[in-house]
Amino acid sequence: MTFKQKYTLLFILAGLSALAPFSIDMYLPAFPAIAKGLHTDIAQVTLSLTSYFIGISIGQLFYGPIIDKFGRKKPLLLGLLLFIVASIGCAFSPSIYWLITMRVVLALGGCVGMVVSRAVVRDLFPVSEIAKIFSILMLIVGVAPILAPSIGGWVVSVSDWRSIFYVLAIIGLLLTLAVYFFLPESIKEKTAEPLNFNNSIRDYKAVFFEKTFLFYAFAGSAAMAGMFAYISGSPFAFMKYFGLTEAQYGWVFGINAMGFIAGSQLNRLLLNRLTSLQIITLSGGTLFIVALSLITLLQLQLFTPVILILHLFTFLFCLGILVPNSTAMALAPFSENAGSASALIGFLQMVCGAILSAIVSALHDETLFPMVGGMATAGIVAFVIILRLNINTKKGKINPAPIPVPVATKKL
């Protein structure tokens, strides 16, 4: 693979990975406009975000066995077409309930990019390079939270909130064309087993109960849930509680996203000196400190926009370091069924995110407590899992070095 081919591939994979977060972040500044246009409140609009997380969770499990059976490219193209249709459906929403439903369909189409991009990285790159490759992807993916809210805020200011979903449809179309013309089929051997429910469940069980996968996937998923608490609660926190405009909120969201980008790029340097487990432990410990600080400041009612932004920036900075390593280490044991492993990682991340997002919505009380409490809880839980991961590694129950262990292919 030439340098040009490699970075063309990574750019497409990053775009596919960013499609789902772009679909989330771009319409956040439009929450007040959507609530007004559909005659509802922000709490109801937030349910369209929660429904999106649910759709991503279910969709990734659906795609995992399919891309192992039929290859990466064809299912990807079909998912992108579904995304385009659902984007247009969101734009024509007559009620909040229609929007919530169409957001589920949108997620079912868009999540295929997340599953395929992780699987393609596992297909084409050696295990020793996976964490660095994910860090490169994070650089491009991290641009989405910077651009998306700003674009969304601008679209709302010059048009209306429905136009945001037309823009998403255009983005989906451009990615479809890029995949069709430039993305090669990466899977070497498609599984010969029939695609049915029993075989899919067996493969997922084999992945889930691999201890290396279990601990690293849950460490990353717990930490990522904090990001979803932030995404769910930040529109109210900044635009209602602190009184920022839609444009100002877009800038705040972009500044915090820079923390995620900075962390992912620092990770590439850290990997030259430290192991993935050491990096995960260091970033997890910092998350724990940030969580304690969030709780303390909330209790003392000392939050200002600047203080909150500094904490959010640090939280996302740590995620930028932790997530590429936890994902790489969770995928490492699987030279076969990488699609199922990728799907299960995404499922766990999104389920944790959906649960915490729903809790943030349910606890909405016109204060910062739901968002701050959710983020703090995620940071503490992630740190506890990482402590347990270290204990099991020292006891030899988990091997920190990635060793390819094919999933059993015994037929039922």
Tokens, residue 140: 């491009």
* C-beta separation of 38 from 99 below 8 A: yes
Instruction: Return all residues near 21 (Cβ < 8 A) that are at least 6 apart.
Output: 141, 144, 145, 148
Instruction: Say if 157 falls within a structural domain.
Output: yes
Question: Measuring CA to CA, how many Å separate 77 from each of 109, 141, 187, 345?
Answer: 10, 20, 16, 21
The pLDDT score that the predictor gives to residue 189 is 65
pTM score, whole prediction = 0.79
Place of tokens 């498609």: 190
Instruction: Say if 137 falls within a structural domain.
Output: yes
Query: Could you tell me the maximum CA-CA distance found in the chain, to the nearest angstrom?
Result: 60
Provide the residue-wise pLDDT of the chain in tens; the chain has 412 residues: 677 788 889 889 989 988 987 898 899 889 889 999 999 988 889 889 888 878 888 888 889 888 888 888 999 999 999 999 999 999 999 999 999 999 999 999 999 998 999 889 888 888 778 888 888 887 777 777 677 877 888 898 898 999 999 999 999 999 999 999 999 888 766 665 667 778 888 888 888 988 889 999 999 999 999 998 998 889 889 988 999 987 788 788 888 888 988 998 899 899 999 999 999 999 999 999 999 999 999 999 999 999 999 999 999 999 999 999 999 899 888 777 778 888 899 889 888 987 888 888 788 888 999 999 999 999 999 999 999 999 999 988 886 544 333 334 333 3
Instruction: Say if 267 falls within a structural domain.
Output: yes
Output the 3-class SS for the chain: CCHHHHHHHHHHHHHHHHHHHHHHHCCHHHHHHHHHHCCCCHHHHHHHHHHHHHHHHHHHHHHHHHHHHHCCHHHHHHHHHHHHHHHHHHHCCCCHHHHHHHHHHHHHHHHHHHHHHHHHHHHHCCHHHHHHHHHHHHHHHCHHHHHHHHHHHHHHHHCCCHHHHHHHHHHHHHHHHHHHHHCCCCCCCCCCCCCCHHHHHHHHHHHHCCHHHHHHHHHHHHHHHHHHHHHHHHHHHHHHHCCCCHHHHHHHHHHHHHHHHHHHHHHHHHCCCCCHHHHHHHHHHHHHHHHHHHHHHHHHCCCCHHHHHHHHHHHHHHHHHHHHHHHHHHHCCCCCCHHHHHHHHHHHHHHHHHHHHHHHHHCCCCCCHHHHHHHHHHHHHHHHHHHHHHHHHHCCCCCCCCCCCCCCCCCC
Fill in the amino acid letter for 175: L
**Spatial distance between the Cα atoms of 255 and 366, rounded to a whole number of angstroms:** 24
| CATH code of the domain in which 68 resides | 1.20.1250.20
* C-beta separation of 216 from 345 below 8 A: no
Instruction: Say if 169 falls within a structural domain.
Output: yes
Tokens, residue 67: 């891309």
Give the number of C-alpha atoms closer than 13 A to the C-alpha of residue 13, restricted to the C-beta side: 27
Question: Measuring CA to CA, how many Å separate 218 from each of 45, 63, 225, 314, 410?
Answer: 29, 20, 10, 21, 27
At residue 157, φ and ψ (nearest 5 deg) are -70, -30
Instruction: Say if 408 falls within a structural domain.
Output: no
Instruction: Return all residues near 214 (Cβ < 8 A) that are at least 6 apart.
Output: 208
Tokens, residue 344: 């299960």
Nearest to 174 by CA among 364, 18, 319: 18
Instruction: Say if 97 falls within a structural domain.
Output: yes
Instruction: Say if 271 falls within a structural domain.
Output: yes
How many folded domains does the chain comprise?
A: 1
Place of tokens 């406009």: 33
Range of the domain at 289: 11-182+194-394
Q: How many CB atoms lie within 10 A of CB 258?
A: 17
Instruction: Say if 6 falls within a structural domain.
Output: no
The pLDDT score that the predictor gives to residue 362 is 84
The pLDDT score that the predictor gives to residue 190 is 62
